[in-house]
Structure 1
């Protein structure tokens, strides 16, 4: 039987090594030769250094940390403060109340829009008109009033988490 033409071609072609294999092999061989060259330049340590005895004493000396002893010497006694009661939330005196002013707008429409957003955040928000010195009317968006500092802090953290800076106002309950 005659051989097929594809088998004869495979047997007669020499096997080729890809170019990247030659490149990689050359790089590894070059790195090895450089390593051997550098290794031959290093002089072996014969146990004795050529430096003076003072320099060798400095090298063998370990670093000292005086922080702990200095800290004990500079300790300052502090008076013991009375611990606040944390079980009960701090109540604000009935003579004052705290409010959070979130924003102030010239347009009532803008103030109402922000008030609606704050109501959706479950905050007790309202608007109030304020006349300033030159007769302009501004519409303030207010959250509150708050009867305890913990409720004030909670509302302020909700506002901050929703990217609203709030100004804390202290007022008497009458207005």
Structure 2
């Protein structure tokens, strides 16, 4: 009788075990982790949708800009056609000292005092020009970290606009000018070479 009862128990326990293996059983921490991931994803999606306040603000801006367009004629205004020729500076690529020695050797009758009385040319490097003072200060701080000494110059141009120019210099010698240009080029900053009058 004991062997029958053991067999019946074994059979009963086997049927219970097979029932459990048929269903998916995950530990509690897995369910918690899955719920957390789904919650974070839902919060991310909710953050992507604009709120009603944002939609109203954009709609008001569109209405105000369309109202301004009706008041003005639809002709665009381009001031750079007049501003660029006025601020154009021609800079020679040759080194100023080399040009002076070439002129002395080609004309021996010329007095050497004429070349010594002329002032050495000074140059500025303009790293950027911004309407926003914050942008100009950001570039200035970046250049300070690179070991340069930039300054921000506030300039008013035609039409009453104010621009903030980030400039380096003045440079009297070519070596310091070229080293500053190399630093700007390493930072992917295009510079504009300006000659001081």
User: Common fold, TM-score beyond 0.5?
Assistant: no
Structure number having the greater helix percentage = 2
Higher relative contact order (CA 8 A, sep 6+): 1
> TM-score, with normalisation over the residues of structure 1?
0.44
